């Protein structure tokens, strides 16, 4: 049997398959607590990454005809992505563990030969303290890169740094899945 097919970069011209409405996961009429998740993608020089595809997946609320659970946003000329979606609740972890509410996020871009995976949790959620992934990361500055911050009502921000920044801003925690 063949091993899994190799990845190759999404390149700078992936917008040919971009449909901006995909960034709104509520567009099919999903009911629930609507929030915006936004942030910018930043490279190792501190410059915005303006040609990325940011993909979001959430296992909760469960996907159905009115809620796809999946979204895709371009980054704009400021490196910013923006999703409108429903706030996820906690989901089961392995064994008896429970996971704090989170989004899975994959970054695809020119210069990435394969997708770069991370997560976005919610600041202040009491389950963060016992979340299995967050508990694995000892350095509080790096753990904080996985946690979105409130930015006005129903709006959350998480910046994604592909490398440590010029002013020692920590690199986002990326996941080997």
- Is residue 78 near another protein by the rule CB under 8 A? no
Of 36, 104, 127, 144, the one binding another protein (CB under 8 A) is: 104
Instruction: Tell me if the bond preceding 61 is cis, omega within 30° of 0.
Output: yes
Q: What DSSP designation does 129 have?
A: G
- Is residue 10 near another protein by the rule CB under 8 A? yes
69, 35, 38, 18: CA torsion to nearest 10: 40
Per-residue mark of binding to another protein, 132-171 (x: CB under 8 A): xx--xx----x-------------------xxx------x
| Distance in Å, CB of 21 to another protein, minimum | 10
Of 74, 82, 108, 157, the one binding another protein (CB under 8 A) is: 108
The two tokens of residue 116 are 């770069």
| Distance in Å, CB of 34 to another protein, minimum | 19
- Is residue 125 near another protein by the rule CB under 8 A? no
The two tokens of residue 18 are 């971009």
Q: Exposure string (b/e) for 108-137, b if CB count within 10 Å is 16 or more?
A: bbeebeebbebbbbbeeeebbeebebbeee
Site size for another protein (CB under 8 A): 66
- β-sheet bridge partners, residue 148: 122
> Quick check: 72 and 22 in contact, CB under 8 A?
yes
- β-sheet bridge partners, residue 37: 83, 156
Where does this chain touch another protein (CB under 8 A) — which range of 15-23, 29-37, 78-86, 151-159?
Answer: 15-23
Of 29, 77, 78, 94, the one binding another protein (CB under 8 A) is: 94
Residues near another protein (CB under 8 A) are: 1-17, 28, 43-45, 47, 49, 51, 55, 57-59, 63, 68-70, 91-95, 99, 102, 104, 106, 108-116, 119, 132-133, 136-137, 142, 162-164, 171-177
């Amino acid at each position: 049997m063949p091993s899994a097919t190799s990845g190759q970069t999404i390149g700078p011209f992936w917008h040919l398959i971009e449909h901006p409405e995909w960034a709104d996961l509520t567009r099919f009429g999903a009911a629930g607590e609507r929030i915006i998740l936004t942030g910018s993608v930043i490279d190792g020089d501190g410059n915005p990454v303006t040609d990325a595809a940011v993909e979001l997946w959430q296992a909760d609320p469960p996907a159905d005809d009115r809620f796809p659970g999946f979204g895709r946003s371009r980054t704009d000329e400021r490196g910013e992505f923006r999703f409108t979606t429903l706030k996820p609740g906690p989901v089961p972890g392995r064994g008896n563990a429970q996971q704090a509410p989170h989004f899975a996020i994959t970054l695809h871009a020119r210069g990435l030969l394969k997708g770069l995976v991370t997560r976005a949790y919610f600041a202040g959620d009491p389950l963060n303290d016992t979340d299995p992934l967050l508990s694995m990361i000892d350095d509080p500055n790096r753990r904080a890169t996985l946690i979105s911050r409130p930015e006005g009502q129903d709006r959350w921000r998480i910046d994604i740094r592909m490398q440590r920044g010029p002013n020692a801003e920590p690199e986002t925690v990326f996941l080997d899945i």
